[in-house]
Each structure stands twice: as structure tokens, then as C-alpha cells.
Amino acid sequence: MRTSLCVFSAAVIGVQALPSLPTSGGLAVLCGACLLAQVRHRRVLAGALFGLCWALWRGQLGLDARLPQAYDGAALRVSGHLVGLPAVSPLGTHFDLKIDTLSAGTRAVLGPRRLRLSAYGQALTPSAGAHCDLYVRARVPRGTRNPGGFDYERWLFASGIDGLGQVIAHPANRCAPAASVWHIDVARARIAAAIAGALSNPAEAGILRALAVGERAQMTPRQWQVLRDTGTTHMVSISGLHVSMVALLVYWLSRRVVGLLPALARHLPAPRAALLLGFSAALLYALLAGFTVPTQRSVLMLGCLFARRWSGHALMDTDGLLVALACVLLADPVAALTASFWLTFGAMGVLVLVTTVLRRSGPLERWLGVHIWLALALAPLLALVVPSVSWTSPIANAVAVPLVTFGVVPLVLLGIALSPLWPACATLSWQLAAGLWRWVWVGLEWLAEHGPAVVLTRSPSAAVAALVGLGLLLWLLPLGRGRGWFALLLVASPALLPAPHPVTGSVVVNVLDVGQGLAVVVQTHAHVLVFDTGPKTFTGRDAGAEIVLPFLRTIGAPVIDRLIVSHADNDHAGGLPALLQALPVGVLTLSPPHRWPVPVERCRAGQHWEWEGVVFSVLHPDSALAMRQSENNASCVLQIAAGERRVLLTGDIEAPAERLLLQGPYALTAAVVIVPHHGSKTSSSPAFVAAVRPDFAVFSVGHLNRFGMPSAQVMARYRAAGAVILDTRRDGALRLAVGPAGLEVTRWRRVAHRYWHLE
């Protein structure tokens, strides 16, 4: 039985790594093989094949439910109910809509079950549980694709969101309030409002609302920054870890309280009463969190564990954990795509091991051991899922997680229970929770500001994180002499494995997928240059913090040796503040220069330097002409030469600046050109394209951008010149390795493609 559960779970998880799913014929063959194995009593093989068939079938159902590509960018009419709490900000409202009907004109659009919608600059403010009839500009669930970056497409797929959309102005748009005041989301909204009214500090109210009902829209940027720096962002997300800890706390307390009531114990033994109360607490907390997909999995996992305990087995043992794992994957195979799945089962596995190893220790030693080992063991997982993890993260988690889980959260939930009957006591409970959080916050801020300023300078791969986890496991288990040194070697493996660097005389140019904008990271053997930083959108999406910084972690770059911003437009300079705040910058070069809290150098033609045999030359703008040129035409133009091959980075120059370059003394021929102004028809004049004659023309553009870039005429011009077209919206991040040995192109959307990714 144990082996069958293991192979079933492994098969389901393995399917999530497939680049594509087999055809219906291939799935039918696998199903037939599964039945044959079961008939012949090959239970282990049957378990593995059943896991494959189940995960493949459910994965295909998820793909079939997506918004069809034919309606990408189309105006559709949608009718449905709000799911969860709408996130309201001064900029607009974001909400999920469970679809009743979806249509394009008179034609029904079949498949999608849920859309994530945004409404900007409109009077539309839907309330929790509302029924809405809206006109939207629909988009397929597409995101940017970069090494080390957040995989938005995976998150949407795992969350059951089948499409995106923006509400468009229409007189028929309307939202009616929920028909029942007992609707769970209506109750959650009332609780969130009550907490906000009970506390004078909006930042503390935002934290308590996040812990109470999973509503994190009111948390401040400063709070997110400190939580990221200390590796504790998971602490304010109601996930499996929170639900499980609340259930175990209620179970432990109930068992002791019921044991003191003999009359009750005669009708229902204390252990069983504690199981019912613990599971009820988990279910209620999951409902308060909106019964999201992660909390549904947690309730299912706890149901499996508590059911085994009811039947006489140990509450926390390996077999119970395997049963819970298999049940969760049976209910939702794509659970393996979520960070909460790995954090929850990782934490539960550590609890099982630690309580087994420390079963003969005293209560205090067991309590300390559990929290210390939880913090250490989850560190490798956090390093994979959190954008930046400080070396202080284990300390922060060891102290803050128990205080929040067993202190702040119970007080918040007590306030919720008291609020209908005794509002004054509910307010007092929430104020006590805020006071305890205040002490936690002081410690987190101190660690963020005074602890080691260096975050992990290299993002670990899943394999390296697994090695570190194995090392911690070996250290924990009593496996005999000599294990300590081997465990230490595994834990230290990230420091022992050198980051790959280009050889001397070669250069790697990484054009990141930042949507409508530009960000390029250039690597030589010992130096890193960043050319432009991508946009910061009005909705708060920051390419510098969310794309460029995570990528720099993947290549192990603790410092930016030179940062060049071609010009001050937001799509090129929006991410600059985040980079300046996060990493040391050797030289900051701007065109034209602006005031920044670091030394700034003006970008001007004639600047020249060499790193490990790679030559960098600034070709434009001429300092005498820069002030008379437009912002775009004053863009910094950089040429990189590795041997006989050159790369040309052009910013947003247009035809006038191109003419100046053609009249200058520089050889413009390049193996690779970052196409000027994202392929605008005001750039890439025929004479400029003929002079550059690139082998590869790179367009950095956003999907369905409002400018209609790149121009079809410009793309045709480069093709006619013999260039291969590369496009970040289609190819994702691009890695161009240039050197004496040749030129190699890697398209991230191809090499890291999984079956849920869009083509």
C-alpha cells in the first residue's frame, strides 16, 4: 500500500514537468495498460499508471477550459458571480468572476469557468458576492517568461483562472449585490470592515485582515518589502501551514479541556471530540479565507490525517502523510504546481520526523526543536519560491511563525467569534492581536535593517534545494557516525557549486521579457552590465523588482558593475529605483542625466571600456546635440564587440538619430541588434537596416500592446535583410551567447516550456 501511494503521487507530480500532453489516443493506451496491470495484480505498476492517466486527463480538462486564442483581445459579454473579495485601490478594482455565460455578439464562448478582471477609472465597484453583467476586453492567461521570474501562467492555471480581462465602458455594465447576507464572501467583507474599524493603524489592520479573511490588498509596500527581506511573506498568506497549525492547536487544547469534563467524555471520548473540534476549526478558517484552492487542499489533507487518527492510527506518521498526499493529488493533480503544496507537506514531514526523533525529550525541548527545524528545513523551499531570502530568514521564521500562528491568529479568530455577540470584546481581542503583531514587526524590521544585508546572491535550482534539504534530513536523523560531515557537505553545496560565467573574450546578452519595455543584462567573465530596467506600471508591477532582480539572482550577480538607462521613459527606466535600492551599482549612466542618490555619469558618444576581452563603445548621443534632440533620439546607443561579432543596443532612437549614426565614423554592422523603439514604424529606416545587416533582430514588446508594435513593415524590412526575427512576447527571455566560437540563441519560452504554458 505504501509503495502504491508513493508511485501514484510521484506519477502525478511527474506529469506536471511535461512540456506537452499526449494525444487522446496515447491517453487511451495508458488507461488500457493501467487496467491490464490491475487485472494482473501488478498493484505498484497500476498505481503509477493510474497516477499518469489521472493527472494527464485533469491537465487536459484545464487546458480545454482556457479562453480560446481566437478571442484574445476581443470584446466579450460576461455574466457571473464574484468569487472572493474584490481588491479595491485608488487605481481600480480587481476581482474574479465565476462565469455563468460568456458570449461574443450572439455566439456563445464555451470553456472558460473563471476570469480575473480589472476595472480602471470607472464607477464600477462590485461588492463581495455580487452578480455582474459586464463587457470586457478579454485576454488569454499569458504572462512574461524569464529565468528566476514569477511564472504567472503556472499560477493562473493552478488557481483555475481561465482568462484575463479588463472591463470596458458600456451603458449595460451593472453589478447587483449578493442576494443573501449569509453569503460567505459577504460575511468576510463585513469582518474585514469590522477589523479596519477597530484599529487606528491601517497598516496593522491590513495585516490582521490578511490573517483573518485572506484579504491582503491593504498591506503596505513597506510591509511587503520587510516580509520579503526576512523570508516571511508566507506568514501572512492563509495557506495549508496556517490552517494545519490552527487545527493542531485546537486539537491539542480541546483534548485537554474535554478531558476535564467527565460528563462530556462519557458520551464522546476526549481524543475524538478533539478531532471533531480541530477539523471544524480548520474548515471554518478555510471558509473565512474564501475556501481558496490552497485551503481546500489543506482541509482535505487534515481530513485524511484526522480520519486515520479516528480509526486508531497515530495522528502524525509517515503512512498518514502519504495517504494525505495521495488524496490531495487525487482531488487536484495541479496542486503540485503551487508553493503552498510544497511548504505544507514539507512542514508536515518535518513535524513527523522531529516529533519521532525528540519523542523522549521534554516538552520545552520538543517545542523548540520543532520550530527550529521547521525554520531550517523550509529555508531551501523558501529560497525557491520567495524572490529574496536573507540569511536571517531561519531566525525570523523560528521566532515570528510560532508567535503569529499561536498568538496573533487565535486572537484574531477569537475576535471574529465574539464580534456578533460582544463587539467590545471583539475589538479588545483584535487590539491585543495588533499589539502582539507590533512586537513581531519590530523584530522583523530590525532583522531586515540590521541583519546581513546580503540576500542569497544566487537563486538555487530545484536540484540544489533538494541537496540542501537532504543534508538537513541526514543531520536530523540518527543514522550513525560520519553523517554529520556528509550532511554539512550537502548543506554547503550552493556555495561549492560555482555560477556559470562566459569565458574570457565572450559575452552573454540576456534580453528579458518585461512586456512593453526593455531590460537587458550583459555578462562577461567577471562583470555584469544592465542596459535599461523595464517599466513600472500604474498598477504597481515593477519589472526591476519582479523580473530583473530575480534574474540577477539566478546568475549569481551580487553587484551591478555598470547600469545604463538609455533614456528616461518609464518603459526603460521604471525599474531603476528598485535596482538601486536592492544592489550596489558601480557606475550609473543616464541619457540625459537625472538626479539620483548615487554618482551619475552622462551617456555620450566616445565612451569606451573593455572587460575580459569584450569591448564596449557608446555611439550616441553626441553631447553637443543631445540637448537639442527629443527624449527618444537622445537615447544611449551601446555597441558590444566580442571578437569579430558585435551587438547593438539602440534604446528608442528614431530616424533622425539613425541618420546621425549613419553619418558618424562607426561601423554599424552587427550580428545582433535590439531593434530601435520596439519596432516602431518611426525607426529602423531602410538605410539603417541595410547598414546594420543583422543576423538576428530582437523585438522587445508586450503582448497586445496599445501601440501596435512591432510594425509589420519593420519586421518585413529586417527579414528582407536576412535577419532572423526574435520576439520576447513569443519567445520569452532571450539568451544570446556571442564569442569567437559563434553565436548561440536560447529562447526561454521553449527551453522551459511546460504543458500549461501558452505557445
pLDDT digits (tens, 9 = 90+) for 198-228: 888 888 999 999 988 888 878 888 888 888 7
CB 244 within 8 A of CB 347: yes
Q: What is the pLDDT of residue 729?
A: 94
Q: How confident is the model at residue 489 (pLDDT cuts 50, 70, 90)?
A: low
Instruction: Tell me whether strands 734-739 and 742-747 are parallel, antiparallel or unpaired.
Output: antiparallel
Q: What is the pLDDT of residue 679?
A: 94
Spatial distance between the Cα atoms of 639 and 672, rounded to a whole number of angstroms: 10
**In the predicted model, is pLDDT for residue 133 greater than 90?**
yes
Spatial distance between the Cα atoms of 427 and 406, rounded to a whole number of angstroms: 19
Q: How confident is the model at residue 741 (pLDDT cuts 50, 70, 90)?
A: confident
3-state secondary structure 309-353: HHCCCCCCCHHHHHHHHHHHHHHCHHHHHCHHHHHHHHHHHHHHH
pLDDT in tens, 118-130: 988 766 778 888 8
CB 95 within 8 A of CB 80: no
Within 10 angstroms of residue 452's Cβ, the number of other Cβ atoms is 9
Which one is predicted more confidently, 215 or 10? Answer: 10
Spatial distance between the Cα atoms of 600 and 591, rounded to a whole number of angstroms: 10
Domains of the chain: 2-64 (no CATH), 69-179 (2.40.50), 182-231+393-456 (no CATH), 239-385 (no CATH), 462-496 (no CATH), 507-751 (3.60.15.10)
Q: What is the pLDDT of residue 278?
A: 87
pLDDT in tens, 313-332: 776 677 778 888 888 899 89
What phi-psi label fits residue 747: left (phi over 0), alpha (psi between -120 and 50 degrees) or beta?
beta
Q: First CA to last CA across the chain, in angstroms?
A: 40
> Range with the lowest mean pLDDT among 5-14, 108-117, 462-471?
462-471
pLDDT in tens, 222-251: 888 888 778 788 788 777 677 877 888 888
Residues 30-50 have a mean pLDDT of 88
Q: Element (H or E) spanning 491, and its range? A: helix 483-491
Phi then psi dihedrals of residue 370, to 5 deg: -60, -45
Residue entry with cell 558593475? 561
DSSP string, 354-405: HHHHTTTS-HHHHHHHHHHHHHHHHHHHHHHHSS--BTTHHHHHHHHHHHII
**In the predicted model, is pLDDT for residue 605 greater than 50?**
yes
For residue 498, the 8-state DSSP code is: P
Residue entry with cell 524572490? 387
Q: Which of 347-351, 420-424, 483-487, 665-669 has the highest mean pLDDT?
A: 665-669
Phi then psi dihedrals of residue 293, to 5 deg: -55, -45
Q: Element (H or E) spanning 664, and its range? A: none
Which one is predicted more confidently, 477 or 579? Answer: 579
pLDDT in tens, 370-395: 777 777 777 777 666 665 556 677 77
pLDDT in tens, 547-557: 999 899 888 88
Q: What is the pLDDT of residue 40?
A: 82
The amino acid sitting at 702 is G
The amino acid sitting at 414 is L
Which one is predicted more confidently, 261 or 511? Answer: 511
Strands annotated E in 69-161: 75-89, 92-104, 107-108, 114-120, 131-139
List 521's β-bridge partners, or say none: 510, 530
Q: How confident is the model at residue 597 (pLDDT cuts 50, 70, 90)?
A: low
The amino acid sitting at 183 is H
Starting from the edge strand earliest in sequence, which strands make up the sheet with 560-565, in order? 600-602, 585-590, 560-565, 528-533, 519-523, 507-511, 734-739, 742-747
Find the DSSP H helices in 105-175. 152-158
Q: What is the pLDDT of residue 453?
A: 45
pTM of the prediction? Answer: 0.87
Spatial distance between the Cα atoms of 308 and 315, rounded to a whole number of angstroms: 7
Q: How confident is the model at residue 528 (pLDDT cuts 50, 70, 90)?
A: very high
Spatial distance between the Cα atoms of 598 and 577, rounded to a whole number of angstroms: 11
Q: What is the pLDDT of residue 113?
A: 93
> Range with the lowest mean pLDDT among 91-105, 269-283, 745-759?
269-283
CA nearest to 655, candidates 630, 626, 625: 630
Q: What is the pLDDT of residue 265?
A: 62
Residues 180-200 have a mean pLDDT of 84
List 175's β-bridge partners, or say none: 132
**In the predicted model, is pLDDT for residue 450 greater than 80?**
no
Q: What is the pLDDT of residue 472?
A: 67
Helix axis angle for 339-357 and 363-385, nearest 10°, is: 150
Query: Cα dihedral angle (41, 44, 49, 50), rounded to 10 degrees?
Result: 80
Q: What is the pLDDT of residue 645?
A: 93
CA nearest to 115, candidates 177, 166, 154: 166
What phi-psi label fits residue 370: left (phi over 0), alpha (psi between -120 and 50 degrees) or beta?
alpha
Q: How confident is the model at residue 533 (pLDDT cuts 50, 70, 90)?
A: very high
CB 493 within 8 A of CB 369: no
Q: What separation in angstroms does the CA of 503 have from each of 105, 506, 610, 741, 744? A: 58, 6, 14, 11, 14
Q: Element (H or E) spanning 425, and its range? A: helix 423-450
Q: What is the pLDDT of residue 507?
A: 96
Which one is predicted more confidently, 266 or 737? Answer: 737
Instruction: Tell me whether strands 724-727 and 696-699 are parallel, antiparallel or unpaired.
Output: parallel
Q: What is the pLDDT of residue 292?
A: 77
CB 279 within 8 A of CB 247: yes
Q: How confident is the model at residue 581 (pLDDT cuts 50, 70, 90)?
A: confident
Which one is predicted more confidently, 672 or 460? Answer: 672
Phi then psi dihedrals of residue 415, to 5 deg: -60, -40
Q: How many CA atoms lie within 13 A of 425 on its CB side?
A: 9
Burial label for 431, CB within 10 Å (0-12, 13-18, 19+), is middle
CB 697 within 8 A of CB 675: yes
Instruction: Tell me whether strands 696-699 and 672-674 are parallel, antiparallel or unpaired.
Output: parallel
Which one is predicted more confidently, 327 or 495? Answer: 327
3-state secondary structure 175-232: EECCCCCCCHHHHHHHHHHHHHHHCCCHHHHHHHHHHHHCCCCCCCHHHHHHHHHCCC
Q: What is the pLDDT of residue 454?
A: 44
Q: What is the pLDDT of residue 338?
A: 86
pLDDT in tens, 165-176: 999 988 889 998
Residues 734-748 have a mean pLDDT of 93
